[in-house]
Chains A and B, each alone.
Chain A
Amino acid sequence: MFVDDIRRPGMLHAAFYRSPHAHARILRIDAAAARALPGVVAVYTAQDLPARIRGPLPKLIPHPALKHHKTQVALAGNVVRHVGEPIVLVVAENRYIAEDAVDLVVVDFEVLPAAVDLEQAAQPGAPRVHDDMPDNIAAHHIQRVGDVEGAFARAAHVFRERLVIDRGCSAPMETRGVVAEWDRRARQLTVWDSTQAPIRIRNYLSDLLELPQASVRVIAPDIGGGFGPKIMMCYPEEVCISWAAMELGRPVKWIEDRREHFVATNQERLQIHDAAIAVDADGRILGVRTVFLHDCGAYCAYGLQLPIIASTTLPGPYKIPNYHAEYRAVFTNKTQTSPYRGAGRPHGVFVMERLMDRVARELGIDRAEVRRRNFIQPDEFPYDLGGLIYQDGVRLVYDSGNYPEVLRKALQHIGYADWPAEKARLRRQGRRVGLGLACYVEGTGIGPYEGCRITVEPSGKVYVATSVGTQGQGHYTSFAQIVADALGTDVTDVLVTTGDSGAFGWGTGTFASRAAVVAGNAVALAARAVREKTLQVAAALLEARPDDLELGGGKVFVRGVPDRAVTLGEVAVAANPLRGVIPSEWEGPGLEATRFFAPPSGAYAAGCHAALVEVDVPTGFIRFLRYVVVHDCGPVINPLILEGQIRGGVAQGIGNAFYEKLVYDEQGQLLTQTFMDYLLPTAAEVPEVQIDHVETPSPLNPLGIKGAGEAGTIPVPALVASAIDDALSEEGVRITEMPLSPSRLREIIRAAQAAPEPA
């Protein structure tokens, strides 16, 4: 049941008139013709909205460095700051008529100069995205460890790179969508929303629409992919559609179409790093410095999470005694950015791994060896990164890991030892094949918390409710497994509800590879509590001590006497008697428990990708011959789900490396607004991925697990760059930007061939 499957009696359909300009003042809106069109029920502009939702939408994650926390408005009334910003809401009997009416809306604009190019937008005197600011710098933030200047001054070698990762979008199969229904008599607002954060949407809607939280129910039904942008809280459409449903007293549906998605759903990725590494004569890292620009787009509701994650992911598995990460977050007249699978991590890994490859090449040290020399060792955990603050506001301390073993396995699977001979053999055949290597550490499973309620019903079925939204990650299965393991019942008897504020009203959301870690552990804690209570109640029924009981096959039985048993359902009935007394140690009636899990900090997963990539020099095309992922996210709950996550992530990473790029022209018009121009890799472009695991438990949670949602995506740009460099080592090609394309790669090859030989 996806949002577009929701059909309510009397339901209306909405469409938005969106800004055709990247930056413009709205002079006049003429919606008379749209209002007059038969079948149109209402046309709203900013003026029609109540004061409470007319102003800027919520600032989500403040930060002391974020001096200008700008958020967009539900409907733009004065100024539009990116193409696609909603200006007019049309509600009609069907979407066809709604779009016809949008065509009839006339808006007079005074077009303003647009800040589009990131580096230009960061300059003083650039067109200002927000005219109440002196420039476009939303934040200037520095994190430092040790004495970076000293380290660079005494280093045997210093290498510097300018590294760029360009814009992309997550392109979920299901676009966003909202259906809202207001029950006037019950005073109950129900919102079906394709979101990753139903509870938080509920909270914000309750605030903005001035309703008690108990009067708002947000349901995130099946979600056809989220990948981050659906964690954004509140998009204008979520607010407008909910309000319009209340205003009109009829259900309203809005399903984002693909063209809207390309301009109105948050994007990510553009950062430009000026990075340097200082090493001793043996390639040991003395210091790393990066000074970078981060593209916020027109607003930054989500705060500084992306550049903070990039800054704190960059060190990766290496010991970096002196570190300087400095960025400016810059407003541009483009769609807002917020986390998208990887969320700043691909950037950090790209920078660090490019620098490591550079050190290896310049010093003539093997690429794997230079990494080994700098790895944090397995006996050095917990490993404190010296005072860096991660995205959760907590001091960055790696909980556990075994980086040498991860690398060793990856090298073994890709055939690293034999590679020089194999490369030479292929070269003799005229083939240009390179081996790429990329290591990373991934912060996962951050707080603040998730919760879960588990109820065993008299039927013996176990009901599990947690609020994290699910977007295809297999939570129903993983959570059911955790519960089934604890209660000794069959997974098919465990029914999981996620993402419905009416079923469980506390939670944060699905993001940062945290659902399995945070919600999964809440599920585990609740399951253990239900197990304890089950044993207590069953002990009385079976006249045995709880210690002598076991659970299995949906029953509780006396150890060694399987016939002395009661079913879970019988225990549930006994725990909720018609008469009698509930013992105080039961903590209430029924086989039910609610537990929360609030980790002290994130759990840090790690991995290494290795691949063989062939470059067709005349055409600039690349082809993956082998792809290996070795991954450590602690104990694996479900190998099939984990490997699916990794494969999907790799596909998305390959898109980020060679296919997917959002291209804006100088006026801020997005030139890639269809899947003919924004190229998602297909089954024909994505290779088979060989996966192996290392399992280093986390000490930070009862299950010992770490997140895995982004592991497939994070290192791919770094990996592809590394492989192309190796394939084209004769030409001296050094990849410093992502994504590439055949045309761009040919330009790089030509430039390398034309460059004079190094002295």
Chain B
Amino acid sequence: MKPPPFSYAAPRSVGEALALLQEYGPEAKVLAGGQSLVPLLNMRLARPEVLVDINRIGALAYIRRRGDRLRVGALTRQRAVEASAGVRRRVPLLWEAIRFVGHPQIRNRGTVGGSLAHADPAAELPAVVAALEADLVVAGPGGERVLSPEEFFTGYLTTALQPADLLVEVRFPLQDGDTGSAFVEVARRHGDFALVGVAAVLRRQDDTVGQARLAFTGVGPGPVRAREAERLLQGEPATPRLFAEAAREAAARLDPPGDIHATAQYRRDLAAVLARQALEVAWQRSGGRRR
């Protein structure tokens, strides 16, 4: 478990990083927190010719508010997100979900951008980004562009990032007072990737669901939005029955993988159980009455 030979570059700016990526193209791989890439290297499953280590680009690590968005730099450590009072207050879904990412040691190194760019199908952050419809800012040879989660996540471990692109920032919408969110996850052990995870966001209008967003992780090639269930919820009086029905609806449309850890049916059943929990909790947090 030693990596094959590779060249190593450690740019100090986004510009330098982009130049390197452009020079080496598909032969280059970006090293951020290294929590997935380094094992892949050691197992020789990834064999890049050049490793572009962006850890020295300090300008990519920040959490700052701009207007109605919280901007998180791609190199921001997951642990910094967890420790941020601003994230906890204004993007509570992100704060809640990030604590399901591995263990503290992993979050000390792992980055927000790295997790999103790696796009593991059972990772938490893609589902959060999908449920919040956060903007993903990508820098490339043609300048910066802003992608929606749907544009960004394109399949199993794949994104819209081109070889010369670098994910530089994620812009999360701030949560308002009438909105509640919840992230619920079940993993085999504490800190493992999710068997199934659910992110739910509900905006309350009195006793009805104004807007609903529901996204799963662990049940498809990438984060899976449950749009039918969202439509079913919208404009309806919030009742336990509604949430149960929406959860069932969402789960029924999933086509989860079966693997050595869980069958497809288990994941589908679990998705229904967890979606219901997440909706109930999100509703309570929106200030909605328990019914």
- Chain A residues within 8 Å of B, Cβ to Cβ: 95-96, 99-100, 103, 257-259, 618-621, 659, 661, 663, 671-672, 674, 676-677, 679, 681-682, 684-685, 741-743, 746-747
Whether B186 and A621, one on each chain, are in contact in the complex, defined by CB atoms closer than 8 angstroms, is yes
Question: Which residues in window 109-167 of B have CB below 8 A to A?
Answer: none
Known: A100-B5, A742-B262. A259 touches B186 (CB 8 A): no
Q: Which of A96, A674, A684, A743 contacts B262 (CB 8 A)?
A: A743
Whether B273 and A257, one on each chain, are in contact in the complex, defined by CB atoms closer than 8 angstroms, is no
Residues of chain A within 8 A of B190, CB atoms compared: 682, 684-685
A-B residue pairs in contact (CB < 8 Å), sample of 25: A96-B3, A96-B5, A103-B44, A258-B1, A259-B1, A259-B43, A618-B273, A621-B186, A661-B260, A674-B43, A676-B192, A676-B193, A677-B261, A679-B192, A681-B189, A682-B189, A682-B191, A684-B189, A685-B190, A742-B186, A742-B188, A743-B195, A746-B266, A746-B269, A747-B266
Q: Which residue of B lies closest to A745 (CB)?
A: B266
Residues of chain A within 8 A of B262, CB atoms compared: 741-743
Whether A257 and B1, one on each chain, are in contact in the complex, defined by CB atoms closer than 8 angstroms, is yes
Residues of chain A within 8 A of B269, CB atoms compared: 618, 746
> Closest CB of chain B to A590's CB: distance in Å?
50
User: Is B241 on the interface with A (CB-CB < 8 A)?
Assistant: no
Whether A742 and B1, one on each chain, are in contact in the complex, defined by CB atoms closer than 8 angstroms, is no
Q: Which of B2, B43, B186, B191 contacts A619 (CB 8 A)?
A: B186
Residues of chain A within 8 A of B270, CB atoms compared: 618-619
Contact with A along B259-278 (1 / 0, CB 8 A): 01111001001100100000
Other A-B pairs, 5, CB within 8 Å; known A663-B260, A743-B261: A679-B189, A684-B189, A685-B189, A685-B190, A747-B266
With A and B bound together, what is the CA distance between A257 and B39 in angstroms?
A: 13
With A and B bound together, what is the CA distance between A103 and B5 in angstroms?
A: 12
With A and B bound together, what is the CA distance between A258 and B2 in angstroms?
A: 11
Whether A741 and B2, one on each chain, are in contact in the complex, defined by CB atoms closer than 8 angstroms, is no
Residues of chain B within 8 A of A99, CB atoms compared: 1-2, 4, 44
> Closest CB of chain B to A731's CB: distance in Å?
16
With A and B bound together, what is the CA distance between A100 and B191 in angstroms?
A: 33
Residues of chain A within 8 A of B266, CB atoms compared: 620, 742-743, 746-747
Whether B193 and A684, one on each chain, are in contact in the complex, defined by CB atoms closer than 8 angstroms, is no
Q: Which residue of A lies closest to B5 (CB)?
A: A100
Residues of chain B within 8 A of A619, CB atoms compared: 186, 270, 273
Q: Which residue of B lies closest to A673 (CB)?
A: B43
Whether A659 and B188, one on each chain, are in contact in the complex, defined by CB atoms closer than 8 angstroms, is yes
> Closest CB of chain B to A704's CB: distance in Å?
41
With A and B bound together, what is the CA distance between A338 and B261 in angstroms?
A: 26
Residues of chain A within 8 A of B195, CB atoms compared: 742-743
Interface size on B, residues (CB 8 A): 24
Q: Which residue of B lies closest to A258 (CB)?
A: B1
Please report whether the interface of chain A is mostly helix, strand, loop or mixed according to DSSP: loop
Contact with A along B180-224 (1 / 0, CB 8 A): 000000101111110100000000000000000000000000000
Please report whether the interface of chain B is mostly helix, strand, loop or mixed according to DSSP: loop
Most chain A CB atoms below 10 A, which of B2, B192, B263? B2
Residues of chain A within 8 A of B43, CB atoms compared: 259, 674
Residues of chain B within 8 A of A672, CB atoms compared: 260
With A and B bound together, what is the CA distance between A186 and B4 in angstroms?
A: 39
Residues of chain A within 8 A of B188, CB atoms compared: 659, 679, 741-742
With A and B bound together, what is the CA distance between A743 and B267 in angstroms?
A: 8
With A and B bound together, what is the CA distance between A347 and B37 in angstroms?
A: 40
Known: A671-B260, A679-B188, A684-B190. A100 touches B1 (CB 8 A): no
With A and B bound together, what is the CA distance between A95 and B1 in angstroms?
A: 9
> Closest CB of chain A to B257's CB: distance in Å?
12
Q: Which of B2, B5, B44 contacts A95 (CB 8 A)?
A: B2
Known: A741-B261, A742-B262. A96 touches B189 (CB 8 A): no
> Closest CB of chain A to B14's CB: distance in Å?
31
> Closest CB of chain A to B56's CB: distance in Å?
24
Residues of chain B within 8 A of A663, CB atoms compared: 260
Q: Which residue of B lies closest to A685 (CB)?
A: B189
Q: Which residue of A lies closest to B264 (CB)?
A: A743
With A and B bound together, what is the CA distance between A672 and B261 in angstroms?
A: 10
With A and B bound together, what is the CA distance between A618 and B186 in angstroms?
A: 12
With A and B bound together, what is the CA distance between A743 and B5 in angstroms?
A: 41
Residues of chain A within 8 A of B4, CB atoms compared: 99-100, 103
> Closest CB of chain B to A327's CB: distance in Å?
28
Whether A684 and B191, one on each chain, are in contact in the complex, defined by CB atoms closer than 8 angstroms, is yes
Residues of chain B within 8 A of A685, CB atoms compared: 189-190
The 4 closest A-B pairs by CB, nearest first: A684-B190, A743-B262, A743-B266, A257-B1
> Closest CB of chain A to B107's CB: distance in Å?
15
Whether B263 and A743, one on each chain, are in contact in the complex, defined by CB atoms closer than 8 angstroms, is yes
> Closest CB of chain A to B258's CB: distance in Å?
9
> Closest CB of chain B to A217's CB: distance in Å?
30
> Closest CB of chain B to A277's CB: distance in Å?
33
Residues of chain B within 8 A of A621, CB atoms compared: 186
With A and B bound together, what is the CA distance between A681 and B189 in angstroms?
A: 7
Q: Which of B2, B39, B273 contacts A96 (CB 8 A)?
A: B2
> Closest CB of chain B to A686's CB: distance in Å?
11
With A and B bound together, what is the CA distance between A363 and B126 in angstroms?
A: 54
> Closest CB of chain B to A152's CB: distance in Å?
38
Q: Which of A100, A659, A671 contacts B189 (CB 8 A)?
A: A659
Q: Which of A96, A100, A258, A747 contacts B263 (CB 8 A)?
A: A747
With A and B bound together, what is the CA distance between A679 and B263 in angstroms?
A: 17
Q: Which residue of A lies closest to B262 (CB)?
A: A743
Question: Which residues in window 1-55 of B have CB below 8 A to A?
Answer: 1-5, 39, 43-44
> Closest CB of chain B to A246's CB: distance in Å?
26
Residues of chain A within 8 A of B261, CB atoms compared: 677, 741, 743
Residues of chain B within 8 A of A679, CB atoms compared: 188-189, 192
Residues of chain B within 8 A of A620, CB atoms compared: 266
> Closest CB of chain A to B55's CB: distance in Å?
22
With A and B bound together, what is the CA distance between A697 and B39 in angstroms?
A: 51
Residues of chain B within 8 A of A684, CB atoms compared: 189-191
With A and B bound together, what is the CA distance between A676 and B187 in angstroms?
A: 11
With A and B bound together, what is the CA distance between A621 and B39 in angstroms?
A: 29
Residues of chain A within 8 A of B193, CB atoms compared: 676
Residues of chain B within 8 A of A659, CB atoms compared: 188-189
> Closest CB of chain A to B98's CB: distance in Å?
18
Q: Which residue of B lies closest to A746 (CB)?
A: B266
Q: Which residue of B lies closest to A684 (CB)?
A: B190
Residues of chain B within 8 A of A96, CB atoms compared: 2-3, 5
Q: Which residue of A lies closest to B272 (CB)?
A: A618
Q: Which residue of A lies closest to B263 (CB)?
A: A743
> Closest CB of chain B to A717's CB: distance in Å?
18
Q: Which residue of A lies closest to B270 (CB)?
A: A619
> Closest CB of chain A to B38's CB: distance in Å?
13
With A and B bound together, what is the CA distance between A742 and B1 in angstroms?
A: 31
Residues of chain A within 8 A of B44, CB atoms compared: 99, 103
With A and B bound together, what is the CA distance between A410 and B264 in angstroms?
A: 40
Residues of chain A within 8 A of B2, CB atoms compared: 95-96, 99
Residues of chain B within 8 A of A746, CB atoms compared: 266, 269
> Closest CB of chain A to B2's CB: distance in Å?
5
With A and B bound together, what is the CA distance between A677 and B188 in angstroms?
A: 10
Question: Which residues in window 243-290 of B have CB below 8 A to A?
Answer: 260-263, 266, 269-270, 273
With A and B bound together, what is the CA distance between A99 and B266 in angstroms?
A: 40
Q: Which residue of B lies closest to A681 (CB)?
A: B189
Residues of chain A within 8 A of B1, CB atoms compared: 99, 257-259
> Closest CB of chain A to B128's CB: distance in Å?
21
Q: Which residue of A lies closest to B103 (CB)?
A: A682
Residues of chain B within 8 A of A103, CB atoms compared: 4, 44
Most chain A CB atoms below 10 A, which of B3, B195, B261, B273? B261
> Closest CB of chain B to A226's CB: distance in Å?
21
> Closest CB of chain A to B181's CB: distance in Å?
21
With A and B bound together, what is the CA distance between A257 and B42 in angstroms?
A: 10
Residues of chain B within 8 A of A741, CB atoms compared: 188, 261-262
Q: Which residue of A lies closest to B277 (CB)?
A: A618
> Closest CB of chain B to A213's CB: distance in Å?
35
> Closest CB of chain B to A263's CB: distance in Å?
13
